[in-house]
Structure 1
Amino acid sequence: MKIFADKLVTHLQRQTHPIYFVAGNEPLLVNESRETLRDMAVSHGFEAAAPFVLDNQADWNAINNACTAMSLFASKNLVELTIPDSGPGAANAKQLVSLVEQLTPDTLLLLTASKLNKQVESSKWYKALTKQGCCISCMTPDSSRLPQFVRQRCHALGLQADAEAVQLLAHWHEGNLLALSQSLQKLLLIYPDKQLTLNRVKESLSRHNHFTVFHWTDAMLAGKSNRALRVLSELKAEGVEPVIMLRTVQKELLLLASLSQQMLTTPVNTLFDQHRIWSSKRPQYQAALTRLSQTHLTKLIQLLAQLERSVKTDYEANHWLAMQHFTLATCVPSALGITPQRQH
């Protein structure tokens, strides 16, 4: 079973599982989910054992003992395992499957990982975990889902936020949900009547949005030129190195060029599966493949190569202006004097 982090509390009111896998890239949701599950474990009589990390030094004798040992004061144990960013590794994955198969009702297993993607979900150990337990997805809401996320957080705190206040909170805190949580707590203290308007939010808060290069590339894939240019401006202000950004978008363009060519003989959904493209990102790739012809992709790759050479050799050039032009050209085919030649 798999649920989203915002549904966890409601889910626990209906049923519980012997295994919980908290996974995703959003620290706020991961931390809150873990605390919720720990509180649930305590209320059901479980006592926390020492936590373990499933790295190369993982002590499986100790892990297995923690899952079977009984203390003087409790007969049930909460055992927490953390999976590193590189994954559990083959040996730990095998041991994990074995542990799940032998788990007793006296043990509650809580695992945490920062990644939840197609590769993880297709692994044997993940399937073993979710067959008996529940996966809590803690992925960062994308820009389209963020306003709804803000509304839910406000509602949970009893804050009444109008539509403009919600939009501004989402805009100012994109990519930084920890700061959003702190800002809502601050607003709760400042305004005892719990009414949030656009002016109140503006007067009380400073901007806390934090963009990554992936926000920029995602916006370009989707063809959202205004958003892509805004993210580019924020990345410039944060001092992100242009060469890092160019290398990241290069991977996306090369993948698009390959997909565009292969689509002549293979259905696009089959290609998405073959290239292990997350389901959440497939609409963005589909939009790019619909908008950009093979000719346009070739031009963009050539333009990108020229831009990278300039960044590395011409220190007097206005590289950020050139990156604005490149961003616009990726979002709008006519920017390079090319129009889409086909619809996929």
Structure 2
Amino acid sequence: MDPARIPLRVHPASLQGQLEKGIAPFYFLFGPEILLVEEALDLIRRKAREQGYGDRESHTVERGFNWDLLHGASQSISLFMEKKILEVRMPGGRPGDQGARALVDIAGIPPSPDTLLLMVSGPVDKRSQGSKWFQAVESVAVMVECPEVGGDRLPEWIAGRFRAQGLTADREAVRRLAHYVEGNLLAAAQQINQLCLLAEDGRITVDLVESIIADSARFSNFNFADACLAGSAGRAVRILGSLRMGQAEPILILWALTREVRVLCQLSAIRESGGNPNTQFRKHGIWRNREPGFRAALNRLSADRCRRILRRLARADLQLKGQAPLERRDIWEEIESIGLDVCGVRIP
């Protein structure tokens, strides 16, 4: 059997090496990190085009999806001998009963020789990974799992991206960048690309990281969060209005504020248990120039109120995704109301 066709599970970082051995007939890409999933997908597509896969057919699994159509498409042979990429996106990570049966059938019959089957999924939980359909797919496909990159893994991921560009990054520069982009790998990749263009002598320094972040639109999201922490209600409202006019993404604004409120919850819990939260600032990535804002917020907000604000932010995230009804006119008013809550201003 061709080594490329042996079913296995590979990390995105190892995918290039697997593809060099030859393209397998079936790939299943899944995981919570959308950036890594899409980059892996692009890599497979490029390699496939090099090997003559000139046609591409794409489907998305939604309610009422016709799995029989997919089964037929995977087995069809082109009349013009055109090699085809068949892409199937399954955002929810679960195919449903009909889809589960169809995937077992598809796994039992290899795709036609001129068809490359690419299935792209969101996260697949542990229970689903033990299901019959997943194990059937795993027995025949190359599984490309894209796990979450966070915590201690993020600095190494950032450093690795710089190394791939032939650059060296100072350890403190990597730490500062990881702090700013934690929880948003797409923003991290965008910042890294900009830094690579600006780096001199092949080195990424702390000063360069600070300058690019200060100049980026995304830093304005943190300006909004900082104004909220400081209790500057008027400034927070002005910044939010500016972000809205500049067509900023509400999801990034929510993410920045959620991140700071989550830290507030941890610090207020330390205070509640009799500890001194001021001694924990560096551990939580709070640098000296941001300490006054956190001190002001801790003096203003109780632990219970911090937790309540965090719940409001979680609900706003669902509202933005259309999974919960809006309580105000639009998501921008929801964000403004929450920001004012952090400022200590109660809005009915």
TM over 0.5: yes
Q: Secondary structure at the match of 2:119?
A: strand
Matches within 5 A, 1:154-173: 154-173=162-181
Match of 1:20 in 2: 27
Match of 1:103 in 2: 110
Residue 81 of structure 2 is aligned to residue 74 of structure 1:
yes
- Quickly say closer, same or farther: Cα 1:241–1:93, change in 2 above 3 A: farther
Alpha-carbon separation, structure 2, partners of 1:145 and 1:29: 14
Residue 67 of structure 2 is aligned to residue 60 of structure 1:
yes
Gaps of 5+ in 1: 250-314, 323-344
Residue 177 of structure 2 is aligned to residue 198 of structure 1:
no
Match of 1:253 in 2: none
Match of 2:134 in 1: 126
Decide which of 9, 12, 28 is 1:5's aligned counterpart. Answer: 12
Using the size of structure 2 for normalisation, the TM-score is: 0.60
- Quickly say closer, same or farther: Cα 1:150–1:86, change in 2 above 3 A: closer
State the 1:61 CA deviation.
3.9
Q: Secondary structure at the match of 2:99?
A: helix
Alpha-carbon separation, structure 2, partners of 1:189 and 1:248: 35
Match of 1:287 in 2: none
Alpha-carbon separation, structure 2, partners of 1:153 and 1:15: 25
- Quickly say closer, same or farther: Cα 1:86–1:132, change in 2 above 3 A: closer
State the 1:131 CA deviation.
0.8
Q: Is the 8 A contact 1:165 1:197 kept in 2?
A: yes
State the 1:33 CA deviation.
0.9
Q: Deviations over 1:173-198 (max 9, x none)?
A: 11111111111221122235331111
Q: Secondary structure at the match of 1:51?
A: strand
Q: Deviations over 1:113-160 (max 9, x none)?
A: 111320221121111111111221222212111111001111112221
State the 1:98 CA deviation.
0.4
Match of 2:182 in 1: 174
Alpha-carbon separation, structure 1, partners of 2:140 and 2:262: 38
Q: Is the 8 A contact 2:149 2:185 kept in 1?
A: no
Alpha-carbon separation, structure 1, partners of 2:116 and 2:32: 23
Alpha-carbon separation, structure 1, partners of 2:108 and 2:313: 41
Q: Secondary structure at the match of 2:63?
A: coil
- Quickly say closer, same or farther: Cα 1:137–1:86, change in 2 above 3 A: closer
Matches within 5 A, 1:262-301: none
Q: Secondary structure at the match of 2:161?
A: helix
Match of 1:294 in 2: none
Residue 72 of structure 2 is aligned to residue 33 of structure 1:
no
Alpha-carbon separation, structure 2, partners of 1:74 and 1:183: 43
Match of 1:335 in 2: none
- Quickly say closer, same or farther: Cα 1:319–1:188, change in 2 above 3 A: closer
Q: Is the 8 A contact 2:55 2:85 kept in 1?
A: yes
Task: Report how many aligned residue pairs link the two structures.
Answer: 246
State the 1:55 CA deviation.
2.7
Q: Is the 8 A contact 2:31 2:124 kept in 1?
A: yes
Q: Secondary structure at the match of 1:50?
A: strand
Percent identity over the alignment? Answer: 28
Match of 2:100 in 1: 93
RMSD over aligned Cα, in angstroms? Answer: 3.7
Q: Secondary structure at the match of 1:116?
A: coil
Q: Deviations over 1:166-220 (max 9, x none)?
A: 111111111111111111221122235331111121122234884667x949x97
Q: Deviations over 1:72-112 (max 9, x none)?
A: 54343211111131621011110111012112333221111
Match of 2:150 in 1: 142
Worse-matched range after superposition: 91-100 or 112-121: 112-121
Q: Secondary structure at the match of 1:49?
A: strand
Alpha-carbon separation, structure 1, partners of 2:117 and 2:93: 21
Alpha-carbon separation, structure 2, partners of 1:229 and 1:181: 20
Q: Is the 8 A contact 2:128 2:134 kept in 1?
A: yes
State the 1:31 CA deviation.
1.1
Q: Deviations over 1:244-278 (max 9, x none)?
A: 745999xxxxxxxxxxxxxxxxxxxxxxxxxxxxx
Alpha-carbon separation, structure 2, partners of 1:110 and 1:94: 18
Q: Is the 8 A contact 1:55 1:88 kept in 2?
A: no
Alpha-carbon separation, structure 2, partners of 1:185 and 1:245: 32
Alpha-carbon separation, structure 2, partners of 1:97 and 1:241: 48
- Quickly say closer, same or farther: Cα 1:248–1:137, change in 2 above 3 A: farther
